[in-house]
Amino acid sequence: MLYSAFLWRRGFQRDNWINYSLLAIAFVLHTVAMAKRGFSLQHCPVNNLYEATAFVLWTIAAGSLVFGLWPRLRFLGVFTSPLLFCVGVFALMPGLDPPPTGKPQFTNGWASLHAAMIMLGYGAFGLSAVAGSMFLTQERNLKFHRARALFTLLPPIQRLEKMITVSLATGLALLTTGLGLGAAYVELPEGASFKGDPKVIWSMLVWAIYSVLLLLHWKFDQRGHRYAWSAIVAFGFVILTFWGTNLLSGIHNPTP
């Protein structure tokens, strides 16, 4: 994250592999940690707030590294690293990672797949917010720093706008699949119900928000900085309200 600040001040005018390599090393360590945790618990590590947050951050990092294989998108990691660092530090709060109870909260593979698909969807939404940040940076360069915009290695805003759309569509498809799997196959804890559950209501609200964003873009031609800001604000809502609704959910926090 600190090295990203230096690259930001340089105006993204030098194709630098150091930031990409640091992100790749962190991703490898993150992957090993998640794998070791999953094998030690003998289930997919998506069963509490810490694990869910770690999974979302892993998805964002993976997407940044894949897109970074293209030189014009390599600076995506500069925008993702502050998000990964700040949310990652927050996820380390002890209250988000209670000791295991001896058995997984979810008792079948469909439920783990349901959770994993939803977390991947949130990761894709995070990438759309990162692409939106790059869009706004490049747009500002075009308006106020024409020389910097000419020599910068950031991709053109048209390509960034397309990246926002692809990330939003991918995230919505994954979220829809995850919600469908949950409705069809998740075995609810005794006394719990989908009806009126805060997390279910929140999930449907998130689904509606991103559906509206894509509808406005495809049918009503919403583009430019308003579209980029919409992707950023929508993900900000997701990341800020995810923990609270999860704690209020009877499905995700069954009464012993």
247/48 Cα distance (integer angstroms): 10
- Contact of 64 with 80, CB cutoff 8 Å: yes
How confident is the model at residue 212, as a pLDDT?
Answer: 97
Q: Supply 43's token pair.
A: 């289930």
HEC-encoded secondary structure of 42-89: CCCCCCCHHHHHHHHHHHHHHHHHHHCCCHHHCCHHHHHHHHHHHHHH
Residue 192 pLDDT > 70, yes or no? no
**Tens digit of each residue's pLDDT (9 = 90 or more) over 52-90:** 889 999 999 999 999 888 877 777 888 899 889 989 988
Tell me, what DSSP letter sits at residue 94? G
Residue, of 107 and 73, whose pLDDT is higher? 73
Question: What is the residue-averaged pLDDT of the chain?
Answer: 83
14 band by pLDDT with thresholds 50, 70 and 90: low
237 exposure class (CB count in 10 Å sphere: 0-12, 13-18, 19+): middle
Residue 16 in this model has a pLDDT that exceeds 90: no
Q: Pull the structure tokens for residue 99.
A: 């000791």
User: Who wins on pLDDT, 190 or 170?
Assistant: 170
Q: How many helices (H) and strands (E) does the chain have?
A: 9, 0
How large is the average pLDDT for residues 229-247? 92
- Cα gap 164→227, rounded to integer Å: 9
Phi first, then psi: give them for residue 48, nearest 5 degrees.
-145, 180
Specify whether the CB–CB gap between 121 and 172 falls below 8 A.
yes
Domain boundaries, the chain: 2-248
CA-closest candidate to residue 207, choices 245, 179, 244: 179
3-class state of residue 142 by DSSP: helix
Q: What is the mean pLDDT of residues 178-205?
A: 81
Residue closest to 203 by CA, chosen among 231, 228, 174, 229? 174
DSSP one-letter code for 96:
G
Structure tokens at 195: 């009806």
pLDDT band at 151 (very low <50, low <70, confident <90, very high): very low
Question: CA–CA separation, 200 vs 196, rounded Å?
Answer: 7
pLDDT at 107: 46
The number of beta carbons lying within 10 Å of the beta carbon of residue 195 is 7
Indicate the pLDDT class of residue 253, thresholds 50, 70 and 90. low
Cα of first residue to Cα of last residue in the chain, in angstroms, is 41
